Amino acid sequence: MAVTRTFSIIKPDATRRNLTGAVTKMLEEAGLRVIASRRIRMTRDQAEGFYAVHKERPFFNDLCTFMTSGPVVVQVLEGENAVLRNREVMGATNPAQADEGTIRKAYAESIEANSVHGSDSDENARIEIDFFFKPEEIVG
């Protein structure tokens, strides 16, 4: 298996409850290494651009409002098969369906306020990393 990269966001519901460290600990324990990290307040434009693939979905407007409602922590994660590894430790989108031991099972408040984002493919990981980070900000 190859060492690859993925993109993660610790969402406003988690930063509000001071869970940045707790979420990051679960990522690290899953074998992922934080090789870039920045706490930001997303603008509406950033949220709409980042989630453009979902713009026809009924939850798009609320999702952009939620993602701009408080600080988020954007991160680049590196590890063996990082995209899949991160999706496994994140758990299902809907926390009611998330497995024990996952971040969303432990911390998510709802299907919307579900504590973390993670890229769903290597190609999207590259696009999402480029959306928030310059190459020199990533130190692997």
* Residues that are catalytic: 117
In contact, 35 and 78? CB cutoff 8 Å: yes
User: For 35, phi and psi rounded to 5 degrees?
Assistant: -110, 0
Which of 117, 125, 129, 133 forms a contact with ligand IDP (CB under 6 A)? 117
Q: Which of 28, 109, 120, 122 binds ligand IDP (CB under 6 A)?
A: 120
- Tokens, residue 84: 């899949």
In angstroms, the CA 129 to CA 114 distance is 20
Is the Cβ of residue 81 or residue 139 nearer to Mg ion in the bound state? 81
Least separation in angstroms between CB 66 and ligand IDP: 7
**Residue 131, binding choice from ligand IDP, Mg ion, none, Cβ under 5 to 8 Å by partner class:** none
DSSP reduced 3-state for 34? strand
Among 26, 114, 125, 129, binds ligand IDP (CB under 6 A): 114
Contact 92, 98 (CB under 8 A): yes
Q: Which residues bind ligand IDP (CB under 6 A)?
A: 54, 59, 63, 93, 111-112, 114, 117, 120
